[in-house]
Amino acid sequence: MPPLLLRNTTGKKLCDYVARQLNHFFPDDSGISGATFSSHIDAVLERLGACFGGIQRRKYQENGQPFFNYLHPDHYAVFLYLLANTIFRNDQEDALAFRVYYLNKALHALDAFYDAELPEVFMFMHPVGTVLGHAKYGNYFCAYQNCTVGSDEPGNNPVFGEAVVLYAGATVIGQSNIGSNVVLGAKSFVIDRDVPDNSVVMGQFPRLRVTPNRTHVLDRRFR
């Protein structure tokens, strides 16, 4: 895979940039500096390159290479999630991972907790108001604004196959098994329901309408 292009920045500059944002939003003398992230940034950029390399769309590719623009909010929301998650994976450092997660929430109104495991390739499309809980996410996952993924009261979490897109306001809760190549239509609501592969879901529980998906999600969103 071609290396990730960084638009008008470097790994070190990104570390300094995040540190300045954290100190501005949370001015509690925590002593965070760019060096705080130096042991994580290479792994984060490697994961970011793998993610954006799987999205063959104009704003993610430039001259055949995946590229990252820290001033594009969809890009930056992915970067901050990966930074928080990588810190948690590497060091089990809850306090620092939480701060980066909280920064993402403050900047983008996106609640993707640092220990929620999103797949290698995923996409946020202006994800204001979206909450992504502890589901099992298949590769090529896409979420739009105001989507919700979460557990039911007993603590059951959804399972997603590969190539799933949640359009605006879609909700998937509880013991729901969502197949591969599935579209959750705008404002659809699924709870404790199995959805087969190659489906489009519309409506709200218990009045769901499931129809065949005649256009692959990879073609809709990732190619």
Q: Which residues contact 47 (CB under 8 A, 6 or more apart)?
A: 82, 86, 120
What confidence tens digit (pLDDT) does each residue in 188-209 have? 999 999 999 999 999 999 999 9
Query: What is the distance between the alpha carbons of residues 9 and 71, in angstroms, rounded to a whole number?
Result: 10
Is 111 strand, coil or helix?
Answer: strand
Query: What is the distance between the alpha carbons of residues 137 and 135, in angstroms, rounded to a whole number?
Result: 6
Q: For residue 174, what pLDDT band results from cuts at 50, 70 and 90?
A: very high
**Mean pLDDT of the 167-190 span:** 98
Per-residue burial over 42-74, b = 16 or more CB atoms within 10 Å of its CB, e = otherwise: eebbebbbebbbbbeeeebbeeeebbbbbeebb
- Please tell me the pTM assigned to this model: 0.96
Domain 122-222 carries which CATH code?
2.160.10.10
**Residue 1 confidence (pLDDT):** 65
User: Dihedral of CA 8/9/10/11: which sign?
Assistant: negative
Query: Range(s) for CATH 2.160.10.10 in the chain?
Result: 122-222
What confidence tens digit (pLDDT) does each residue in 110-123 have? 999 999 999 999 99
Strands 182-184 and 141-143: unpaired
What mean pLDDT, rounded, does the chain reach? 95
Cβ atoms of 35 and 57 within 8 Å: the answer is no
What confidence tens digit (pLDDT) does each residue in 157-168 have? 999 999 999 999
**Residue 148 confidence (pLDDT):** 98
Q: Which residues contact 93 (CB under 8 A, 6 or more apart)?
A: 87
